[in-house]
Each structure stands twice: as C-alpha cells, then as structure tokens.
Amino acid sequence: MVIAWSRWLPLVAPLALLLALALLPAVLSPYLMDLTVKILISAIFALSLQLLVGTTGLVSLGHAAFLGIGAYVTVLASPQGEGASLWWLLPAAMAGAAAYALFVGALSLRTRGVYFIMVTLAFAQMAYFVFHDTRLGGGSDGIYLYVRPVLRLGDTTLLDLENKRQVYGLVLASLAFTWGLLALLLRSRFGHALQGIRVNEARMRAVGFRTYGYKLAAFVIAGALAGLAGALFAIQDGVVNPELLSWHESGAVLLMIILGGLGPLRGAIVGAVAFTLLKELFASEGLVGPLAAHWQMTLGFTIIAFVALLPRGIVGIRLRRGAA
Amino acid sequence: MSVVVEAKRLSRTFGGLAAVDAVSLDLRLGEVHAVIGTNGAGKSTLVNLLSGELPLTSGEIRFGDDDITGWSQPRRARAGIGRSYQRTTIFDSFSVLENCRLSAQAALQRPWQVWQSAQRCAGSREVAAQALQAAGLADRADRIAGTLSHGQKRQLEIAMCLATKPRVLLLDEPLAGMGAEETERMLALLQSLKAGHAILLIEHDMDAVFRIADRITVMVNGAVIASDAPQRIREHPQVVTAYLGEAHS
Amino acid sequence: MTVANAPLVEIDGLHAGYGDSRVLHGVSFTLPAGSALGLLGRNGMGKTTLIRTLMGYLRPTAGRVRWQGRDVTGWPPERIARLGVGYVPEGRGIFPNLSVRENLLMAARASADGQWPWPMERVLETFPRLGERLAHGGQQLSGGEQQMLAIGRALMTSPQLLILDEATEGLAPLVVAEIWRVIAQIRAGGISTLIVDRNVRRVLEHADQAVVLEKGRIVCAAASSTLADDPAALARWLGV
C-alpha cells in the first residue's frame, strides 16, 4: 500500500490541488480571489524561471522583460472598442515575449556565469527603458486595457473576461497547462539533457550535445511562458506599466524559486505562494501594526532567515518518520 | 592496422608560448598509443586539441576520410571521438545508469519528441547497460554517482565514454589516484577495449604504460622528442636525458 | 615543546589524497637539522602532494608530521610557515602587482629566536639582478629573475627549512647554474633544504640524502652518493 501511494502521489497531488483551487472561488471574498489570481499568475511566472534556473542552471536576472513584453503586447494589440479574441491574443503575447527571448538568448548564451547574469539584466533594462521613456507604452504611467479580450467559438462566448470568476478560470487553466507542459518536458529527453547541462556542461559537450542549442530552446520556452504570465496580469489588472519589466520584478521571481526550492516544479509554486503571502502579511497593518510601513525590511530579513536555515528551499524540508 | 586519426603538426600557442609545438601522431585501430612526458609537456593540451575543446593555432587533424580540424567538440564526439578527463567529470547527482544513458542519448537526441519519457528510452538504456557491463559497473547501476569510490568514478568516466560508441578513445590519466587493485582492473578494462578502438593514453604510471602500450610518444616542452615502440623508447638517449638530466658518465 | 635532538622534520606514515583519490600511501622519512634532502620521482608520483601536506595545504588522512619533535599534523600553512619553513613553490608564486622590493618585504620577519640571518642587503648581494630592479613590478621580471625573487622572499622570513619545488624549471642553462650555486650557498649558511628537481644529477650533488617516490610510496631512500653510484636504480625509478 505504501509503495503504491508514493508512485501515484506525484500525479494525484497536483490534480487534487487543481480541484481544490477550482472550487475556491465559491468561498472567497473578492479581495481574496484577486489575491489568489495574483498568486496563481506569479506561480506561472516562477515556473517559467524554474525551467531556466532550476533545470538548466542558467541564472537570469532579466526574466521580467518577458513578463512585461507579454503584458504590453496584450494591451497594445487589443483594439480600443471591443474585446480582442483570446484565440490569437494569448499566442501573440507569448510569441512577442519569445521573440525577444530568442534575441536576448542568442546573444547572452555566448557568455557564462556572472557575465551571463549581467548580460540578461542589461537586456531587461534595455526593454524597460524602451517602455519607460518612449511613447510606445505610454511612458511611465503605463496604458490601460479598455476592453478585456473574449474567447468566442462561432456565436457563443466561451469566456467573458470582464467576469472575475472567468478570469480566475482562465488563469487556473493556464497554470495547469504550464505545469503540465513543464512536467512533460522534464520527463523527456530534452529535459534530461537540460539537467545534464546544469550538472556538467563540459561532459555534455564531450559526449556530443550541442549545448548552445538546448540552452537557447530553454531560454525561449521560458520567455514564452513568462509572456503568458504577463498577458494574464494585463487581463487581470486592466493596466500595464513599465515597472513590470524592472529588475525588482526579476529579482522577486528569482527570490520566489530560491525560497520555494530550486529544481522541482512544486518549488516554484510553493515559492510564489510563500513570497506573495509573506509580502501581504508584512504589509498589512492589521497583522503587524506599525511595522507594515517597513514591509520591505521585514520581508528581507525573513527571506535571509529562510535561505540561511533552508538552503534547499521550503520543499527541501524533509519530514522524517522513523527510518529515513 | 588502419590509421583512424592522423594529427599533422598540431600547434597551440598562448601569447608567445607554444604549449603544443608541431606535434604529429596517429592513432590506429586495435592499438594503444601512449603519450608520456615530464611536467608541463603539453600532454593535456594535446588531448584538448584532439577532442576539440581547444582550437588549433595551426596544424591539421584527419579522422578517417574527413578533415575535422574545424569541427566543434560535440560534432567530433558524435563522429566517434570520445574522451575521459583527468579530473573526474561525471554527473555527480544522477544515478550511474543515468550518467551512461544521458551519454548514450547524445547519439539519438530527437529533442522535439517531448512526449517520450527519457527514462524509458529503450535505445539509450540498452547502450548504457552495455557500456556499464563493459566497464564492470553493471551491479552499481542504481547508485548515485557521487557516492562511488574514486576508482569506480574513474571506471564510470570510461563507461560514459563507451556509451557514445566511439571508435577513438582519448584517455587523460585514467589511473590517477588509484590503488594497486583498481589499477589492475582498469588495465584489464583497457586491454579488453583495444580490439575495437584506437586509444590514446596519457599516463605517468610507467609500469602500466609499458604493459599496455603498443607505441609511446614522448613530449617535452610541447614538442615530440621521440615516438617509437616501448622498448626502444627506454633506450632513446634524448628520452633518458629528459627524464634523468644529463647523461651519467 | 620541541624535543632536544629531534630531527628538524619527521614524516611518519603519511597518507594523503584529494577527494577519494589516494596519492600518498604511508610515506616516512626524516630530515635532520642542517642537512639537505632530495625528493625524486617522476610526475604524478606524489612529490607535490607530499610537499603540500607537509606545508599544511592538504590534510593527511593518516600519519604524522613533526617539527623538532612536535606534532604539527594538520596545522594550517601560516602556522607551519611561522615555525620557520620557507616555501618556494613550483611556478614561483610571486605577486605580479607588487614591486620587487614589496615582494621581498611583505613577509619578512626574524627567526623564532630573533635572528635575521638573511636581511635585505644579504639577499640583494646574493641576487644582484634583483638589486637593479627593486622598483620593477613582479610581472616585468624574466623567469629567472622571478625565481630568484621567490627564493629571496623565502629567505627573508629567516627560515630554518627551505623547500624548493622545481626551482629550475623552464629556465635557461646559465640561470639554472646560478640557481644551483645559490642553493649551495644557502646550504653552506646552515639552512636545511628539501629539493625537488628534474635534474637528478644536480639534486644528488646538492643533497646529503635522497628519497624516491613511486606511486605514492618511497621505493628508495639512501645517501646521495650511494644513489649516484647506482645508475640502474635511477633508470628504474626515474627513467622510462
């Protein structure tokens, strides 16, 4: 019985969680539902970075660029008067992010280690300033998404994203899609090759893998998924601004996966949940009183403590029951 | 015996310094060609030039009918040139089997077939099992590579090399840090590999070299000073001087 | 807590390696004060590992290192150096960003009993070329000059034992001859030396006894004169 459990757990646990999340809107207040949607989108964003950092070993400090581009494409491509069709809008947002990822990746993957980190940061800053300083994205104020997109099949409206519950449904479905895709990739030859690159790239080349191509593919996929998260942010908030591409966002998502645990997919999800909840916790006066104004400090200390005490992240905590 | 790899006047210079200076040698099927030399002779650099990790400053390398001078390392590896490293270069956190399976995967990558599970990939698993069997690690397939003893890790180095089904083996000090028993096992393994491969062996252990090498090339300061059958190398005056200092009177 | 009449250095049953690899398998020898020991052996046989273990860069897995009878096994390199060991490493290890004067002065100190047998003047007298280049940066020196600087720097720490690891490697014959001349001078001054060098004949000329390492074990330990008269042994262990 015990053996059967451990084999099926990796499949049953996520499905159970999915079911629970699907039923959640029935009991949540509008504020909490908003927060949950935000966490779910952050989880998608964190999962996309996990592919890069935890799987392939490519530490990027510029991942928010793809989040932001996905968001901006969503808003810029939406017509003013009516809702754009989700059929092409979501893929377009992902494609836009993927295109920039291809460009950045092609150039920065020629570098390694610390230089790679700096180059990805530089490219993200470049994108940030394009949206911040030019009229393309409405400058530092950002731009509004006047009418949210819709999903239509023939004459029937499948999804009307002015409805908060339906946004929730879309985001949950996207998270399930992202998780499923990454789980499949990690299980495949491609995913195993990426992990080999993380553990020992020299050996991978010595046995015949053209590692540059694999790294670039991972970079582009990660960028596309970050673009998906960005599109969902735009749909949820109805507004985008350049801060989505800032290094603060890039740093935050990196912190999320470090907090949750580098490597396993659930680490990204746990990290996104923990990080967002901690932020909410430390910023709410009702819970921490006067410290709320200094939430960045308390959050900072907490993260330092977590990282020092749990070097493998939250998912690295082993629950020992008797024999190991 | 057919010549599999022909290296002509390979040179590699850094600034003004020649790490490898116009070195020519060839590797033949069924033969172990040992390269020995004093400290800093350029032996490891030579292996890096042959494997493709370092580009040549000048010279030419032929592999069979192809001129592989400009080929990248992965390309040479897929063509049949495998190498082991002086410092153990394995996937520490993966199982022994996965180490070999991943190496074998290089030959049948097909990365776009993402719906297929890597662990169940019959092709790579089979080749990996064969390689482990040949290297004597079959009974340790499920152990995590990082937990193996030093000698076993060196065996795994060779197994991973074999999993790519190479014709040429470039072995950089495979016996480094091994005790007597492990050395024996490794030598037996190398002897068994002779038949189907052309082997380049860098080693310091003279007993081992003389037991297994069919030809020996001696390098000093980046250049070849002698290349001949083992017994004749022993008596070669320049070699004696290189190792012992000026000739005794 | 030095023991009277104890040898300067005693290596007893040393086992050492890197990670799981074992390089030294039970090495033992003694170096009496005021004498010179030649450490011979082909590459990869453990000479550098032995020196690194003696100097404290590597922790032995078994065995003891004793200095004047005192157990110093596992002491960090700084403490070993302060006992009076001057290390001239393979590759010289001079500081390219410091001037010659700075390289010499940086670790200069008196001996354990307050003596300065090798003050700057004496070092510069021994190595006149360094005197001409006091203000030059380390990286501007030729190989031979760097080697002299490395030896000079070690001498300025007033050592009782000087370890020379491949001090003539890659140098022109004239420079090599000069270095051996200096080594003889240092020996004459009473400093014990441990010499590793490729030139077997020279090592045997400049050492009282010699020890040969083969695959991490001592296969031969004798007075230099004895070894010098046994070309067969030399060819066996050091030749090809």
Q: Which tens digits make up the pLDDT trace of C185-238?
A: 999 988 999 999 888 889 999 999 999 999 899 999 999 999 989 888 888 888
The proportion of chain A whose per-residue pLDDT surpasses 70, expressed as a percent, equals: 96
Which of B164, B185, B203 is a domain's end point? Answer: B164
| Strands of chain C, DSSP E | 9-18, 21-31, 36-40, 62-67, 70-71, 85-88, 161-165, 192-196, 209-214, 217-223
Closest CA to B165 of B122, B142, B197, B212: B197
On the question of pLDDT at B249 being above 80, the answer is no
Does residue B206 sit in the same domain as residue B143?
no
Which residues of chain B neighbour C21 with C-beta distances below 8 Å? Answer: 150, 176-178
Residue B21 shares a structural domain with residue B46: yes
Are residue B157 and residue B96 in the same domain, yes or no? yes
B62 and B135 in a single domain? The answer is no
pTM of the predicted model, to two decimals? Answer: 0.85
What CATH number has the domain bearing residue B65? 3.40.50.300
Same domain membership, residue B238 and residue B182? yes
Residue B54 lies in a domain: yes
Q: What are phi and psi of C37, to 5 degrees?
A: -120, 130
Domains of chain C by start residue, with CATH: 9-238 (3.40.50.300)
Task: Note whether C213 and C43 are within 8 A (CB).
Answer: no
Do B177 and B248 lie in a common domain?
yes
Mean pLDDT to the nearest integer, A229-238: 95
Distance CA B183, CA A50 (A): 43
- Which B residues, 100 through 159, put their C-beta within 8 Å of a C-beta on chain C? 149-150, 153
**B197 shares a domain with B118:** no
Query: B62 with B184, same domain?
Result: yes
- Give CA torsion, residues B62, B66, B68, B69, to 10 deg: 60
Average pLDDT over residues C31-38: 94
Instruction: State pLDDT tens for residues B133-150.
Output: 999 899 999 999 999 988
User: Does the pLDDT value for residue A45 go beyond 80?
Assistant: yes
* B151 and B176 co-located in one domain: no
Interface probe, candidates A56, A181, A184, A189, chain B, greatest B C-beta count within 10 A = A189
Percent of chain A having pLDDT more than 90? 63
Kindly report, residue by residue over A271-310, the tens digit of the pLDDT: 999 999 999 888 887 777 888 888 888 888 998 998 899 8
The alpha carbon of residue B6 is apart from the nearest alpha carbon of chain A, in Å, by: 20
Give the total number of structural domains in chain B.
2
**Shortest Cα distance from A113 to chain B (angstroms)?**
19
How high is the pLDDT of residue A2?
A: 55
CA-to-CA distance for C237 and C240, rounded, in angstroms?
8
- pLDDT tens digit sequence for C41-100: 987 788 989 999 999 999 999 999 999 999 999 999 999 999 999 999 988 889 989 999
Helix (H, G, I), strand (E, B), or coil: what is residue B35? strand
Whether the CB of B34 is below 8 Å from some CB of chain C: the reply is: no
B176 and B76 in a single domain? The answer is: yes
Nearest CA in chain A to B99: A196
| Residue where one domain finishes, among candidates B145, B164, B183 | B164
The domain in which residue B144 lies consists of 90-164
Q: Is B85 within the bounds of a domain?
A: no
Residue range B181-230, pLDDT digits in tens: 889 999 999 999 999 999 999 998 888 999 999 999 999 889 999 999 99
Q: Indicate whether B240 and B179 sit together in one domain.
A: yes
B75 and B173 assigned to the same domain: yes
Cα of C106 vs its chain's centroid, Å: 20
Judge whether B222 lies within some domain.
yes
**Which of B164, B185, B220 is the C-terminal boundary of a domain?**
B164
Neighbour-count burial for A108-128, b at 16+ CB within 10 Å, e otherwise: bbeeeeeebbebbbebbbebb
pLDDT digits (tens, 9 = 90+) for A169-220: 999 999 999 999 999 999 999 999 999 999 999 999 999 999 999 999 999 9
CA A88-A89-A93 angle, 5° bins: 115
